[in-house]
Amino acid sequence: MNPSAAADRTAYPVGLRLAGRRVVVLGAGQVAQRRLPGLIAAGADIVLVSPSATPSVEAMAEAGELRWERRPYRPGDLDGAWYALIATDDAEANEAASAEAEQRRVWCVRSDDAQAATAWTPATGRSEGVTVAVLTGGDPRRSAAVRDAVVEGLRNGTLAAPRHRDRAPGVALVGGGPGDPDLITVRGRRLLAEADVVIADRLGPRDLLDELPPHVEVIDAAKIPYGRYMAQEAINAALIEHARAGKAVVRLKGGDPFVFGRGMEEVEALAGAGIPCTVVPGISSSISVPGAAGIPVTHRGVAHEFTVVSGHVAPGDPRSLVDWPALARLRGTLVLLMAVERIGAIADVLVENGRDPLTPVAVVQEGTTAAQRRVDATLATAAEVVAAEGIRPPAVIVVGDVVAVGPAQGR
């Protein structure tokens, strides 16, 4: 077959296993600098032939990652090679080395003339043990763009590539963030894409569940039959049951698993059952929801601290672990979660213990979602405003002077 006909053929993709095998690199400029790390990672026995080198390539040689012969190419350099990279600025040397590679049947990449080469280097990228290699027929920029899109998709979970072999058993406890599906972490989204079973909270980012493949079993934690169990015990039992069945299980929770999310209870239950658990932190609604509503929880000259408090137990209740009088004496920002139904009692105890009744209050309902809305009040009027506006959970309540910081349109 003549060379021009061969150039029209599609390249045959293959992965070379070069560990311990001789690879010859001619030239030590920018091209070699980009290609050498991949060859080093592959474990190749690299011989570099070049009179000079870039500082980065020289550092590789000094580190013992390759052998550097400081001279120009000469015939015989490709003896015993499995693979060659020709990247010098000497056209005659490149032609001679290419001819030697053809004679010795050594696969050869040429940086100066791709059509004269017997091999092409694909645009490569790696994510979670997957190597992506893209060839687009001599258009390196397009190859790189396709590679980047695929690698990014694997990293953020928008491109599903679940493991089916050697998948580690266990449960991933994933914080889904405050509600907007774009605010889940990259790792959390990827684990969702690999799941067989997802046990989700009501406050988790629901839109992410619509993206799951049809084979994924989605279980609403609020609808797990409790029977003789308490709700949390039933959820723990479901996690253990599905993990023991060999399924990849994701426990999807709103916000962060360890911020009023009872995440540690689930970790302890899994540990007691001998099931490994991976914890993936999430963006807590305690800071993200105020931020989305234009409220900084700290601000120079206004607040040097913020305190996050659960309002699911009212002040004065014997079960309460909160020192409300002490909180009233603080000058910083107070962020209340699960407090909509008890905001009147909370505001009263704060005022009774020293907080100014005119302290600004903002209530942000369904923060970061399309249904987000914000209403403003003071400690003196908070209960009345919440009732009048029909505020319902989930909502984050911010108490402090930071509420008045920022542009008016954010309110």
pLDDT at res. 138: 64
250: left (phi over 0), alpha (psi -120 to 50) or beta: beta
pLDDT at res. 1: 44
Q: Please indicate whether residue 256 is annotated as part of the active site.
A: no
pLDDT at res. 347: 97
List all residues 6 or more positions away from 82 whose beta carbon is below 8 Å from its beta carbon. 16, 18, 21, 22, 23, 106, 107
Say whether both 201 and 296 belong to one domain: no
Measure the CA–CA gap between 208 and 205, rounded to whole angstroms: 6
Say whether both 398 and 370 belong to one domain: yes
Structural domain includes residue 165: no
**Residue-range definition of the domain harbouring residue 92:** 3-121
Lowest mean pLDDT among 34-43, 162-171, 245-254: 162-171
State the DSSP string of 361-405. EEEEESTTSTT-EEEEEETTTHHHHHHHHT--SSEEEEESGGGG-
What is the four-CA torsion angle of 172, 178, 182, 188, rounded to 10 degrees? -10
- Better pLDDT: 202 or 243: 243
CATH number at residue 397: 3.30.950.10
Say whether both 324 and 334 belong to one domain: yes
Structure tokens that stand for 262 in this block: 């009872």
pLDDT-above-90 percentage for the chain? 69
Q: Please indicate whether residue 201 is annotated as part of the active site.
A: yes
Say whether both 77 and 142 belong to one domain: no
Measure the CA–CA gap between 107 and 104, rounded to whole angstroms: 9
- Better pLDDT: 222 or 366: 366
Which of 11, 32, 221, 15 minimizes the C-alpha distance to 118?
11
Say whether both 56 and 111 belong to one domain: yes
Structural domain includes residue 163: no
CATH number at residue 108: 3.40.50.720
Task: Outline where DSSP puts E strands in 201-258.
Answer: 217-220, 248-253
Q: Reduce the DSSP state of residue 337 to 3 states and report it.
A: strand
Which of 280, 297, 328 is at the close of a domain? 280
Per-residue pLDDT reduced to its tens digit, 333-353: 999 999 999 999 999 999 999
Measure the CA–CA gap between 195 and 209, rounded to whole angstroms: 11
Say whether both 140 and 205 belong to one domain: no
Say whether both 293 and 404 belong to one domain: yes
pLDDT at res. 123: 78
pLDDT at res. 206: 77
Q: Which of 180, 201, 256, 348 is catalytic?
A: 201
Measure the CA–CA gap between 353 and 305, rounded to whole angstroms: 19
Which of 280, 308, 332 is at the close of a domain? 280
Structural domain includes residue 161: no
Say whether both 271 and 292 belong to one domain: no
Tally of domains within the chain: 4
Say whether both 32 and 115 belong to one domain: yes
Which of 230, 254, 280 is at the close of a domain? 280
Per-residue pLDDT reduced to its tens digit, 53-108: 999 999 999 999 999 999 999 999 999 999 999 999 999 999 999 999 999 999 99
pLDDT at res. 155: 73
Structural domain includes residue 162: no
pLDDT at res. 410: 46
Say whether both 15 and 104 belong to one domain: yes
Say whether both 218 and 294 belong to one domain: no
Say whether both 116 and 13 belong to one domain: yes
Measure the CA–CA gap between 361 and 402, rounded to whole angstroms: 9
Band of pLDDT at residue 124, cut at 50, 70 and 90: confident
Structural domain includes residue 164: no
Structural domain includes residue 18: yes
CATH number at residue 245: 3.40.1010.10
Structural domain includes residue 66: yes
Contact yes or no for 197/247 (Cβ under 8 A): yes
